[in-house]
Structure 1
Amino acid sequence: MTAASVDELVVSRQCQGAVVEVTFNRPHRHNAFTSVMYDGLRDLFSALTDDQDAHVVVFRGAGAVAFAAGNDIAEFATMTEGSQAVAYESRIRALLMDLGRLPQVSVAAIDGLCVGGGLAVATYCDLRLATSSSRFGYPIARTLGNALSRPLLERCVHVFGESMTRQMLLASRLIDAHRAFELGALLAVTDCRTALDREVETLVTGLLQAAPATLRTTKEQLAQITAYAGDVDHDEHLLERVYGGPAFREGVRAFLAKERPDFRQATS
């Protein structure tokens, strides 16, 4: 195995390059994504687009607490206008769509919290496996007071169903792994990290034995079926209104101060 990075994003290859492993490596921050990590993922996805040797991409989170717990909120503190946050969201949306369009089969191996941006990455993967202690959700209505871009919302509906997506976003509910499995959002649930690693290994072995043309063609067909075709300008207008409002500023302030936000005093 050769490592491409030893920083926030660790990329390595196995099986003569057929398997690419990506580890979100900020365990001290629950693997929350930074712009540097997003840039690294963008470059990786670009390189993988024409990579004929790679057949499977596996995503993991470092440590025993989280797959990824959203975005690094400190980066939002420097954004003084809603348009800045919308541009940030636009870059992430494009990145996730690149993930969904990868010709390789993408697998999220989840152990722990999988929320916010972490859940967005997991839902854009083709397959997901998790430990029984894992939790999933978008509790942003009680934390940051922002909103999802519509493609991310649609993807969550595709994977978890409309009813559960409403519970995640409107009631700020975190869904446990067994419930996610019952909904078909997970391929398997294991008791521990060691068992998860074995399950991933079994899955990857099977994928490497499958016909690459079948997998790539099926992925391309599914991408066409689930492609977002909504009004991007209207969606960005809605996001700018949310990100430019006082509720979001209160959410960021409270998060960084480790306080509970008071959204009742911050009307938008």
Structure 2
Amino acid sequence: MSDSELLVTSSDGVVTVVFNRPHRHNAFTKAMYAEMRALFTDLQTRPDVRVVVLRGAGGRAFAAGNDIGDFLDEPDASAYEEWIGEMLDLLFELPQVTIAAVDGVCVGGGLAVATHCDIRIATPESRFGYPIARTLGNALSAPIVYRCVAAFGEGVTRSMLLTGRLVDAERAYSLGALHEITEDLNAAVDKLVDEITFASATTQRATKRQINARARATEVQPDFDRAMLGDVYTGPDFTEGVRAFMAKEKPHFGTDAH
């Protein structure tokens, strides 16, 4: 396999994107986000492409969040989160049908990408969540939380974020967050792609516009969100979370946060 961290191939109207950092559970780097941003911008005006498939290399993870080193290199972590959010918006608004093919851990930024796709399928061993409450002590932007609520429901989203627990594939399927659980991910993707490319692109694009418009109307980012994230990323819990993460220790978060 290529040394590139983002492998993009195109064949017969299908673009496949492979996150290729298996040694880091495919955690996203800033360079990977930039490449995805450029790709999704290009795909906005590509009627020849019908389907976009996103998946992770290595068989252990779809993607395990963001590379923490990028946050350390950023002078304004909340601005970096906002920049990532713009990329996720481009993914969400793609006219093509998007599929997240999950094999293994799908957490943090990986789950954000998956919940901005139209369809999610996964292997039985896959797990989903946002364990940030017990790792980094940061917070998600409101639009990312809302996408999780749309896929998993409010109760499970609250559990994910308030406890840091992960959700297994069977539970995700029962909630409607997954289209299918399969032992043979490649065959399941191929079958789904065949069904999508056989169907009417007109129907698909019109339906996506309608559903996305409803989501936009109900998932409005609150006025306090940007300032709150700024406080989070400059606060003591995130500082401790990063320190502990880099030292491979358990963090010791404060109890007096307001």
Which bracket does the TM-score occupy, shorter chain normalised?
over 0.9
Structure 1 residue 19 corresponds to structure 2 residue 14: yes
State the distance in 1 between where 2:220 and 2:165 align. Answer: 28
TM-score w.r.t. structure 1 length? 0.92
Contact 2:6 2:18 in 1 (8 A): yes
Pairing of 1:96-135 with structure 2 (within 5 A): 96-135=88-127
The equivalent of 1:210 in structure 2 is 199
Instruction: Name the amino acid aligned to 1:13.
Output: S
- For residue 220 of structure 1, what is the aligned residue in structure 2? 209
The count of corresponding residues between Structure 1 and Structure 2 is 256
Aligned to 2:147: 155
Q: Is the 8 A contact 1:246 1:267 kept in 2?
A: no
Q: Deviations over 1:19-46 (max 9, x none)?
A: 0000000001000000000000000001
- Matched AA of 1:51: R
Ranges in structure 2 where 5+ consecutive residues have no aligned partner: none
- CA RMSD, Structure 1 to Structure 2 (Å): 1.5
Return the offset for 1:64. 1.5
- Residue 190 of structure 2 is aligned to residue 182 of structure 1: no
Tell me the equivalent position of 1:39.
34
Find out whether 1:264 has 2:254 as its counterpart.
Answer: yes
Work out whether residues 69 and 116 of structure 1, in 8 Å CA contact, stay in contact via their aligned partners in 2.
Answer: yes
Normalization by structure 2: what TM-score? Answer: 0.96
- The runs of 5 or more residues in structure 1 that have no matched partner are none
The aligned residue for residue 6 of structure 2 is 9
Distance 2:221 2:241 in 1: 28
Change (3 A) 1:243 1:143: same
Alignment correspondent of 2:221: 230
**Structure 2: which amino acid aligns with 1:129?**
I
CA distance in 2: counterparts of 1:100 and 1:67, whole angstroms: 18
What per-residue deviation string (whole Å, max 9, x for no partner) do you get for residues 47-105 of structure 1? 0000010000000100021000000011122345xxx0111011111111110000000
**Matched-pair contact (CA < 8 Å) for 1:74–1:256:** no
Please give the secondary structure, in 1, of the residue aligned with 2:17.
strand
Deviation, structure 1 residue 265: 7.7
Relative to structure 1, the CA distance from residue 6 to residue 21 in structure 2 (aligned partners, 3 Å threshold; closer, same or farther) is farther
Identity, % of aligned positions: 54
Cα deviation digits, residues 112-152 of structure 1 (max 9, x gap): 00000000000000000000000000010000000010000
